[in-house]
Amino acid sequence: MFWLWAYRWRATLMAIGVGVLAALMRLTTLGSPTTLVFDEVFYARGAYSLVSQGYEGDWTGEDQLFASGDYSGLQTKGDYVVHPMVGKLLIAAGIKAFGPTPFGWRISAAVFGIATVVLVALIARSLLGSTLWGGVAGLLLAVDGLHITMSRTALLDGFLAFFVVAGFGLLVLDRARFRRRLAAAMASAGPDGARGGGPVVGVRWWRLLAIVAFALAASTKWSGLYFAAVFLVLSVVWDMVDRRAAGIEGWLVGSAVRAVPTFLATIVLIPTVYVATWWNWFVTDGSYARQWAEKHPGEGVTWLPESLRSLVDYHRQMWDFHTHLTSPHSYESHPNGWILQVRPTAFYFEDVPDIAGDERWVSAITSLGNPLIWWAGFAALLFAVWRLLIHRDTMGLVLSLGILAGWLPWVPYAHRTIFTFYAVAFVPFVVMLVAWALQRIAQPDGPRTWSRGGWIAVGVFIGVVLIVSGYYLPLWRGDPIPYDLWRLHMWLPTWI
C-alpha cells in the first residue's frame, strides 16, 4: 500500500527530496561569513537603502562598516546604479523580514535558488518523460557549486536564473496545453479542421505568463532579454512542429500568423513590466537622475513625459557604463572558458585566526561549479550535436539553446570586465542537458529498456559527482580549512 501511494505521489516526493537537499546546501551557515562578500558591497547596501529611504542612496566610508551595523555612510544623494531593480528589491525584502544581517540580505537569494532547483526537476521530468531523470537534473543542480555559491550570496544573477527557468517552464506548460487543445479542436472540427492553417485554440495564458517571467528576468539584468528572444522563438517553432504533426495544411503560414499576437504581447508586456519595476524610482525625488529632465529642458526624448525622459537618459548612461567597462580585474574571465569553469571567481578569502597549532587556516568562497558536472555539460553539448545529426533527436538541441542563450551573447563583449559566475544563468540548462545525456546512455533504446553497462556508468558518475560536491562544499560555504587543503582543491592553475 505504501509503495502504491509513493508511486502515485512520486513527482511530489521527488520535488520535495531535491528541494530539501537544495535547502540544506544553501541555508546552513547562511549568515557566515559576517562580512560583505564580493559585490554584496553594492547590492546588500543598496537593498538596505531601498528599505530605509525608498531609493538607492550613495555610500561613504569603509565598505565593511555596513556589515558591522554602522549605517552612517548612507547619504541622501542618489547612487548611480547600473542594473535594474527587481533583484535588489528582492534582496530588500529579505532585509525587511530579517533585518540588515548577513542572513537577512542573503535569504532571498537562497529561497529563489531552492525554488530554481525544484523547477528544474519538474521541467526536466516533463521534457524527459521520467520522474527519475527529473530527479537527476534536480539533484545535479542542488549540488552544483556555482549555483550553491550564487544562492548564498546577495548578487543578482541567481534571481535572473530563477526567472529564466520560470519563463522556460511556463512555455513547456503552454506547449502541453496547446497540444491538448489542438487535438480536441481537430477532433471536433473533423476533416475541415486541417484547412486554413488549422483551428484557433484560444488565448495562450501560459505563454503570456512566460513573457511576464522573461520581463522580470530582464528587469533583474538586461541579459534576460537574450533568453526571452531565444525561447519565445522556440515556442513558435514548437507550434509549427505540432501543427505539422497534426496534419494541418498551411501549418507554416498558419503558425506564423498566429504568432503575431505573441509578438505584440511581447513588445507591450516586457517594456510595461520593466518600467513598472522602477516604481520606487518614480515616486522618490532622491533617486539618481530622477530630476534630469527638469535640469535639461529640450534634451533627450522630448516627446516623453519628464519622468520617462529622465529614465531613458539614465538608461543611456547605464548602457555607456556596461559597454565601456574595461577596468582590469584579477578574476575576469573570457566566455570561452565558462563552460569548462577555467577561471572561477574568488568571492572571499581570509586567514582564520585563533586556530590551534601552527598550521595556517583560511576561509574561502569560490564560485566554482562542480567540475564533473560542467565538464560533462561540455561533453553533452557535443553529444547533442551527434544525436541530432544521427538520430534526429531534438531534445538535446532544445536544452542546448538555454546554454547558448546565456553564453554566446557575451563573446562579443569579451573585452569587457566579465566573470565566470554569469554562467549561473544557464547552469539549469547544463544540468538538464547532462540529465538528458545520462538518460540516453542508460536507456539507449527507449524509456522501457535499460543498458546494464550504461546504468552502471551513470550510477558511478552520479556517485562521484556527489563525492566531489562534498569535497568542495567548504569552498562554497566559506568553512575554515587548512591552507594546504585549500591548495589541494585548486586542480587547475587558473583556479588560484
pLDDT tens sequence for the chain (496 residues): 555 656 677 899 999 999 999 999 999 999 999 999 999 999 999 999 999 999 999 999 898 999 999 999 999 999 999 999 999 999 999 999 999 999 999 999 999 999 999 999 999 999 999 999 999 999 999 999 999 999 999 999 999 999 999 999 999 999 999 999 988 888 876 666 666 666 778 899 999 999 999 999 999 999 999 999 999 999 999 999 999 998 888 888 888 888 999 999 999 999 999 999 999 999 999 999 999 999 999 888 989 999 999 999 999 999 999 888 888 888 989 999 999 999 999 999 999 987 767 789 999 999 999 999 999 999 999 999 999 999 999 999 999 999 999 999 999 988 888 999 999 999 999 999 999 999 999 999 887 888 899 999 999 999 999 999 999 999 999 999 999 999 999 999 999 8
Does residue 320 lie in a domain region? no
Q: Are residues 229 and 138 in the same domain?
A: no
Cβ neighbours for 130, distance < 8 A, ≥ 6 positions apart: 439, 447
Residue ending a domain, among 277, 312, 332, is 277
Q: Which three cell numbers stand for residue 134?
A: 527529473
Q: Strand pairing of 74-78 and 345-351?
A: unpaired
In a domain, 215, yes or no: yes
How many domains does the chain contain in total? Answer: 2
Q: Does some domain include residue 132?
A: yes
In angstroms, rounded to a whole number, what is the distance separating the alpha carbons of residues 247 and 245? Answer: 5
Q: How far is CA 284 from CA 18, 54, 87, 301, 387, in A?
A: 42, 7, 19, 21, 55
Backbone angles phi, psi at 171, to 5 degrees: -70, -35
| 76 shares its domain with 139 | yes
Final residue belonging to a domain, choices 227, 261, 277 = 277
CB atoms within 10 A of CB 156: 22
Say if residue 361 is in the same domain as residue 388: yes
Total-model pTM: 0.96
15 and 50 fall within a common domain: yes
218 near 224, Cβ under 8 Å? yes
Same structural domain, 181 and 141: no
Alpha-carbon distance of 397 to 417, in angstroms, equals: 30
Residue 405 domain-assigned (yes or no): yes
As a whole number of angstroms, the distance between CA 255 and CA 266 comes to 16
Residue 34 domain-assigned?
Answer: yes
371 and 230 both lie in a single domain: no
Residues 122 and 8 placed together within one structural domain of the fold: yes
Assign 290 to helix, strand or coil: coil
Say what the alpha-carbon torsion angle 424, 428, 433, 436 is, to the nearest 10 degrees. Answer: 160
- Do residues 248 and 359 both lie within one domain? no
Query: What distance in Å separates the CA atoms of residue 208 and residue 170, rounded to the nearest whole number?
Result: 9
Residue 216 covered by a domain: yes
Strands (DSSP E) along 281-436, which ranges? 345-351, 361-367
Domain containing residue 185: 166-277
Domain identity same for 142 and 208: no
**Do 140 and 250 sit in the same domain of this protein?**
no
Structural domain ending residue among the three candidates 223, 247, 277: 277
In a domain, 90, yes or no: yes
Kindly state whether residue 285 falls inside one of the protein's structural domains: no
In a shared domain, residues 364 and 489: yes
- How many other C-beta atoms can be found within 10 angstroms of the C-beta atom of residue 441? 16
490 & 375 share domain = yes
Cβ count near 143 (within 10 Å): 26
